[in-house]
Amino acid sequence: MNSQRHATPDTVECVRCRARFPLEHFRLGMRVPCPACGQEGVPRLVHSGFFWWDVTFGDFHGLLLDDDTREATSRRVLDWLGWTLNSQEEEAFFVDATGRRHSLEAAHLLIQHTPEWQFDLYQMAMNFWR
């Protein structure tokens, strides 16, 4: 199973200089540097590409915060990475067995780069969203 086959990136727009550039679908909602002006920000979707089982960062964040999906989502991250969901002063993050903190972005990228986890998370999300 290869989630990258025949995938084409989305087209996004920098909210500062309005330059358009390609971005992998699963990076939607993440802060990324603009290749034109260098400003880091969350670009706006202009045109959707073609993808298989990508879940965007915005959706992953939502799955972790929503009362209906938090447990199922955080349990998967614990099974896969050994990281426990935690939060402090409205900021959510993960903590590993050694007590080290990891960002939601770090967990998201590891999941999106592991085809079987990516597929499983997509299926789980679709079951809630349908």
Residue 106 to residue 117: CA distance in whole angstroms: 14
Is there binding between residue 15 and Zn ion (CB under 5 A)?
Answer: no
Is there binding between residue 23 and Zn ion (CB under 5 A)?
Answer: no
16 Cβ partners below 8 Å, 6+ apart? 34, 37, 39, 41
Residue 33 to residue 15: CA distance in whole angstroms: 11
Phi, psi (degrees; rounded to nearest 5) at 48? -80, 135
Question: With respect to Zn ion, which residue has the nearer C-beta, 16 or 70?
Answer: 16
> Between residue 27 and residue 56, which ones bind Zn ion under the rule CB under 5 A?
34, 36-37
Residue 77 to residue 84: CA distance in whole angstroms: 7
Among 8, 17, 47, 79, the residue binding Zn ion under the rule CB under 5 A is: 17
Is there binding between residue 12 and Zn ion (CB under 5 A)?
Answer: no
Question: With respect to Zn ion, which residue has the nearer C-beta, 34 or 121?
Answer: 34
Question: With respect to Zn ion, which residue has the nearer C-beta, 27 or 74?
Answer: 27
Which residues sit at the interface with Zn ion, rule CB under 5 A?
Answer: 14, 16-17, 19, 34, 36-37
